């Protein structure tokens, strides 16, 4: 008897399963859109709003680092329609013929993006043919004022023995190498093997002091007081300070990386029209503003910036830093050979004993 009951339940589940599977296919009357964005990098309501306004079914995935995104696309550029890589990765994708040119006439809102950002972006995307800026910022140190009683103004503090087990480093090649390269006074785009080697040795020396190599977790760990110092993107500064007033973000005097993350459409995209709609939607003033208020990453959208109500934030040096006062440089794609040098160096750091 019970067996029969069990098998009935089982059958029902399977039938329900297949029905649901079919049902969800039918729902998307205006097609689908596969979006691949950074983790914690959008207000989820914005996605819902986009779906409601356009009737497009958004499948939203997140990546942790540019490299992970690249590997996924390299497997199959049709896996996603819209991606949000950083500067140097946009360049790498273009050079590997993995993006398609945008038809700006289908993205009228792209005019909302400030001119200076397009100029900056033309370094990695000449003529702004492939990408539209989404967010920008710097990389710096987030520290907990209650745990650190000295001025923080240099990357050197990340090598200070006092803070053993209190330091969070980024688990991504370029960002970690950047810290060590700048600390030694080199360019963060160094292609010189000797400089890369010195930076590598520095990171290995630092390893015993590091609590963990993480990406998005820096934010929660710093808020929770798990660590005293963390390398983090400027966009998290406002959010983290709001959640834990003891936290402060600074850009070290040696300089840092200034980055732009941009929307781009993949070469193999099967839903180009929807992808254009998505980018256009993201560039809309009200949407960019809503997004900014949620993720607090600096927006290049002039219309959105105009409409920020909180004057403190609007004029905040953290949210909208004046780049002329700091020593900044953007990442460049360094080519296959140097890429390998960096990857091997990072591998050496990660596998080192400590």
Partner 1 sequence: MKLFKSNKSAGLMASPYIAWALIFIVIPLCMVIYYGITSADGNLTIENIATIFKPGFFKALKRSVFLALISTFVCFILSYPLGMILSSMKLKKNAYIVTLFILPMWMNFLLRTLTWMTLLEKKGVINTIFEFMHLPTISIINTQGAIVLGMVYNFLPFMILPIYNSLNRIDENVINAARDLGADSLQTFWRITLPLSMPGILSGITMVFIPALTTFAISSMLGGSKILLIGNVIEQEFTQLYDWHLGSGLSIVLMIFIFINMIIENLADKGGVNK
Partner 2 sequence: MKKILERIYLAIILIFMYAPIFTLIVLSFNSSKSRAKWGGFTLKWYTQLLSDEAVASALFNTLAIAILSTIFATIIGTFTCIAMIGLSAKVRSILMGITNIPMINADIVTGISLMLLFRFLHIGSGFGTILLAHITFNIPFVMLSVMPRVKNINFYVYEAALDLGASRSYAFFKTILPDIVPGIVSGALMAFTMSLDDFIITYFTKGSGFETLSTLIYNEVKRGIQPEIYALSAIIFIVVLALLFISYRAPMSKAKDN
Residues that bind partner 1 (CB under 8 A): 65, 67-68, 70-72, 74-75, 165, 171, 207, 210-214, 224-227, 343-344, 347-348, 350-354
Confirm or reject binding of residue 20 to partner 2 (CB under 8 A): yes
Nearer to partner 1, 192 or 343 (CB): 343
Query: Any residues with CB less than 8 A from the CB of 65 and at least 6 apart, and which?
Result: 171, 172, 173, 215
Instruction: Restricting to residues 178-217, name those near partner 2 by CB under 8 A.
Output: 214-217
Confirm or reject binding of residue 34 to partner 2 (CB under 8 A): yes
Nearer to partner 2, 167 or 188 (CB): 167
Contact of residue 40 among partner 2, partner 1, none (CB under 5-8 Å per partner type): partner 2
User: Cα dihedral sign for 300, 305, 310, 315?
Assistant: positive
Yes or no: say if 25 and 38 are a contact pair by the CB < 8 Å rule. Answer: no
Tokens of 211: 């609590």
Q: Tell me which residue of 261, 267, 279, 277 sits closest to 94, measured CA to CA.
A: 267
Yes or no: say if 298 and 319 are a contact pair by the CB < 8 Å rule. Answer: yes
Confirm or reject binding of residue 317 to partner 2 (CB under 8 A): no
Yes or no: say if 138 and 326 are a contact pair by the CB < 8 Å rule. Answer: yes
* Interface pick for partner 2 out of 21, 150, 194, 322 (rule CB under 8 A): 21
Nearer to partner 2, 165 or 220 (CB): 220
User: C-beta of 167: minimal distance to partner 1 in Å?
Assistant: 11
Nearer to partner 2, 119 or 147 (CB): 147
Q: By CB under 8 A, how many residues form the interface with partner 2?
A: 31
Tokens of 159: 């090598």
Question: What's the Rg (C-alpha) of the chain?
Answer: 22
Contact of residue 3 among partner 1, partner 2, none (CB under 5-8 Å per partner type): partner 2
Residue 197 is given by DSSP the state H
């Amino acid at each position: 008897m019970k067996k029969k009951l069990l098998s009935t339940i089982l059958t029902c589940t399977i039938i329900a399963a297949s029905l649901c599977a079919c049902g969800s296919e039918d729902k998307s009357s205006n097609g689908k859109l596969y979006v691949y964005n950074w983790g914690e990098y959008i207000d989820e309501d914005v996605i819902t709003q986009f779906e409601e306004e356009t009737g497009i079914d958004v499948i939203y995935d997140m990546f942790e680092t540019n490299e992970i995104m690249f590997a996924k696309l390299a497997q199959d550029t049709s896996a996603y329609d819209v991606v949000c890589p950083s500067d140097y990765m946009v360049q790498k994708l273009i050079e590997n013929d993995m993006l398609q040119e945008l038809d700006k006439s289908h993205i009228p809102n792209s005019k909302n993006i400030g001119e200076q950002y397009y100029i900056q972006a033309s370094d990695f995307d000449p003529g702004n043919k492939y990408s539209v800026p989404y967010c920008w910022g710097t990389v710096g140190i987030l520290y907990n004022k209650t745990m650190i009683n000295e001025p923080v103004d240099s990357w050197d503090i990340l090598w200070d023995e006092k803070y053993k087990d209190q330091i969070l480093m980024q688990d991504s090649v370029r960002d970690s190498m950047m810290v060590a390269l700048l600390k030694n006074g080199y360019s963060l785009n160094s292609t010189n093997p000797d400089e890369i080697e010195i930076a590598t040795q520095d990171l290995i020396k630092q390893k015993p002091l590091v609590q963990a190599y993480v990406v998005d977790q820096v934010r929660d760990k710093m808020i929770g007081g798990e660590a005293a110092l963390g390398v983090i993107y400027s966009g998290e500064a406002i959010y983290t300070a709001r959640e834990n007033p003891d936290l402060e973000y600074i850009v070290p005097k040696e300089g840092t990386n200034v980055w732009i993350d941009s929307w781009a459409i993949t070469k193999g995209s099967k839903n180009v029209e929807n992808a254009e709609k998505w980018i256009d939607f993201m560039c809309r003033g009200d949407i960019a503003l809503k997004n900014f208020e949620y993720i607090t990453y600096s927006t290049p959208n002039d219309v959105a910036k105009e409409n920020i109500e909180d004057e403190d934030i609007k004029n905040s040096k953290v949210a909208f830093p004046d780049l002329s006062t700091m020593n900044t440089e953007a990442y460049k794609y360094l080519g296959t050979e140097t890429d390998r040098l960096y990857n091997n160096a990072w591998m050496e750091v990660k596998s080192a004993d400590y």
